[in-house]
Amino acid sequence: MYMLVLSVKPEWLSTQGAQVESAVLEINCYENGGQKNRISYALPPRALSSSPYELSFSGIGDRTSLAGCTASVNFAVNAFGTKQSIQSPVYLDPESPQ
């Protein structure tokens, strides 16, 4: 079992003319130079308005650790009428047991 604790700066959420519409946690795991697993977790709206928000999730495919994986939270933002995607890297501890 893994745990992500997400905290979004209140100033970032309240920027005049911009609104965070959604967020997705993307985890990509690689093996032998190629992508093996890709998992997406849509974060609920409350994760974008209250902090901290905790997300628990189970294993990724047949993996027993997050070694060889990368992650980001991808935000969909409407800024002054223009839709944008903003990626925020996530640190993964490859030694954390399930």
Is the CB of residue 1 less than 8 Å from the CB of residue 57?
A: yes
Q: What is the pLDDT of residue 96?
A: 57
What residues in the chain have per-residue pLDDT under 50?
Answer: 98
Q: What is the pLDDT of residue 98?
A: 47
Sign, CA dihedral 70-44-74-14, equals negative
What would the 3-class secondary structure string for the chain be? CEEEEECCCHHHHCCCCEEEEEEEEEEEEEECCEEEEEEEEEECHHHHCCCCEEEEECCCCCCCCCCCEEEEEEEEEEECCEEEEEEEEECCCCCCCC
- Tell me the whole-structure pTM to 2 decimals: 0.78
